[in-house]
Chain A
Amino acid sequence: MSAPIQLRPDETFLLNVGPQHPATHGVLRVKMQMDGEYIVKAETVLGYVHRMHEKMGENRTYAQYLPNLSRLDYLGALGYTHGHVLAIERAAGIEVPERAEYIRAITVELNRVASHLFWFGAFVMDLGGFSPLMYAIQDREHILDMLEAVTGARLTYCYYRFGGLYNDVDDDFIEAAKRFIPRMRKSLKKYDALVTGNIIFQKRLEDIAPVSAEMCRKYGATGPVARGSGINFDVRKNEPYSVYPEFDFEVPVYHECDSMARYKVRMDEMEQSLRIIEQGLEKLPGGPIMTEKKPKNIKLPVGDFYQAVETARGSFGIRIVSDGDKNAYRLKLRSPTYSNMHLFDEACEGMLIMDALAFMGSLDLVIPEMDR
C-alpha cells in the first residue's frame, strides 16, 4: 500500500486560466495563485488580440478609420462607431439631420439589446445552464436580420457617416422593429421565469463577488458593473448626447454590489432600450439622412477633442489630438471593458475559483475591445 498524499498546510500552487479557456470568452489569460479552491492572488495577462488600433488611427484618414471602430467590440459595434462619428462631428462642427440621429439611437439600442442577449446566454451557460443561450440567440437573430437589412453587415457595422448615415431605413425595417418589441418583452418575461428565480442560479450569484462603489471609482469602472454597485451613472443621462434627452427612459441601478446585481442591471436595461426604440420609431421625423454641407475631405482644426458614449459595456471614450491634418496626430480609445476587468485582480482575492469565473462572466468581457 502506498503512502497517502500529503500537502503542506501552507502550500499554494499556480493555476493558469487561459489564454484558451471557455470561461474567458476569448483569448484572455489569468495567472492564479491557489490555496486549494481559493484564489490567493490573481494576475490578468492580456494583449493576445492586440492589433494596435490606435496606430492605425494615426495613419488612416478619419473616414478610412471608420471600419476599425466596429472591430473593437463585435457584440455592440454600433455604439463604438457612434462615438467616433460624434467625436468628428463635434470637432469639425458638422450638423446632423434629426432623422439620422433618431435612426442612430434606434440602431444603437437594438445593438445593445443584441449584445445583452448574447451576454445573458453565455453567462448562464458559464453557470451550467445551456438552453437559455439557444433562446437568446434566437431573439438576437431577429435583431441581426434587421440590422443586416439596413447596414449590410451582421456584426461589424460601418453604417454611420460623418454628418449622417450611409443608408435610410425602409418600411420593412420599421415594421420588423415594431414587431420585435412585443416579442422581446414576452421573451424577457420568459427569461425571468426560466433563469432569475432558479435557486442554483441565485446561490451562485447572490452575495458573491462584491465590488464596492469606491473600488469602481479607483479603477474607473463604468456601465452595468458600476450600476450594479449602486452608482447611478450612464453617459446617456449624465452627459447627454445625440437625441437621448428626447427619450423617456430609466437607468436601472442596484445596490447589492454582487454578481446578481450586475445581472439584474443588464436584464432591466434591455427593457429600457426597448422603450427607447419604441419612442424612437414613434417620433421618427422625416427629412434627409445626410447633411448637405458635408466636407469631402474631413480635416479637423488643431486641438484636443474628447467624446464619450455609453456602449453596452460602459463608457467608451475617444480622444483625438489633431494637428490640422486629414488624419489624427494621436487617437486614443478608452475602452470600458479594460477598466472593468482591471478590478478583477483585486476583487477576486480570497474567492472560490468557481465564484471568480461567475464574476468574470458578470463583467461582460469582450476581449478584442479590451486589447484593442
Chain B
Amino acid sequence: MILETTQQALQALFAGAVPANEAEAGAPRDNGVILRDYQKHGYHLDAQVAANQLLAAVTILDQGGFFIESITGVDWIKENQMEVIYDFSRYDFDPCRVVIRTRVPRDTPVVPTISTIYAGANWHERETHDFFGIKFEGHPHLVPLLLPEDADFHPLLKDFKA
C-alpha cells in the first residue's frame, strides 16, 4: 500500500517518464523510479533523481513517515561521476525500503543538505564529506567527523593513495 503511494509520489517528479525496469543497479542509467526485486536486492524502490530534485524526493519520504537509515557515496571514477545514496525505511510491518540516489560531476560534487528535513542526516553527511569530499550545501557544520580534525584527504576516492 505505502509502496504504491510512495512510488506514485516519486514518479510524479519525473512527469511520467519511466526508465526500463530491468536496468541493473549500480550501472549508469536515466533518472527515474525503479521497482526492485526485494528478495534479490534487499530494498523495494530505487529512485535516481537530479540533485535539484533531491529535497522534493526526501520531503515525500518525510511526509510518508519514513526514517533515515543512512547516507553514503560511491566514486564512479570511470564515468567521472560521484553518486550519493540515501536509504530510508519505515517502522512498519509492511516493509518498504526506499533508496534515493543522485549523481553529480566528480570534479564539483555538490548536493543540497537534507539535514533541514532529517536532523539525523547531519552526521551522515559529514561522514560522506570526510570520505568522498562531497559538499552538502547548507550543512550547518561540515567539518571532519570520523577523520582527524585537520584531515584534507578523502580516503574512499578511487584515486586516493595513502
Contact = CB atoms under 8 A, between A and B. Distances in A.
Given A46-B146, A218-B118, A323-B26, A306 B91 contact: no
B27 interface: yes
Contacts of B40: 90-91, 93, 303, 305
Contacts of A338: 123
Interface string A220-236: 11000010000111000
A218 B119 contact: yes
Interface string A289-318: 000000000000011111110000001010
A194 B100 CA distance: 49
Given A90-B42, A303-B41, A305-B42, A220 B69 contact: yes
A220 B120 contact: yes
B5 to A, nearest CB: 18
Interface residues of A, number: 48
A317 B70 contact: yes
B19 interface: no
B113 interface: no
Contacts of B144: 47
A110 B26 CA distance: 37
Given A218-B118, A334-B87, A302 B69 contact: no
Interface in A62-95: 87, 90-91, 93
Contact of A308 (B42, B92, B120, B122): B42
Interface string B91-113: 11101010100000000000000
Interface in A44-70: 46-47, 50, 52, 54-55, 58
Interface in A308-335: 308, 315, 317, 319, 321-323, 329-330, 332, 334
Contacts, number: 120
Given A307-B42, A321-B74, A342 B26 contact: no
B156 A217 contact: no
Nearest to B67: A217
Nearest to A303: B25
A346 B26 contact: no
Given A46-B145, A339-B120, A346-B119, A332 B25 contact: no
A334 B69 contact: yes
A367 B21 CA distance: 41
B131 A238 contact: no
Interface string B129-157: 00100000000000011111000000110
A327 to B, nearest CB: 13
Contacts of A238: 91-93, 95
A89 B68 CA distance: 25
Nearest to A87: B42
A232 B42 CA distance: 21
B120 A218 contact: yes
A343 interface: yes
Contacts of A306: 41-43, 87, 97, 99
Q: 9 closest Cβ contacts across the A-B interface?
A: A219-B120, A306-B42, A304-B25, A47-B146, A233-B91, A334-B70, A220-B68, A217-B67, A50-B146
12 contacts: A47-B146, A50-B147, A302-B24, A304-B41, A306-B87, A308-B89, A308-B97, A319-B70, A321-B26, A330-B75, A332-B72, A371-B146
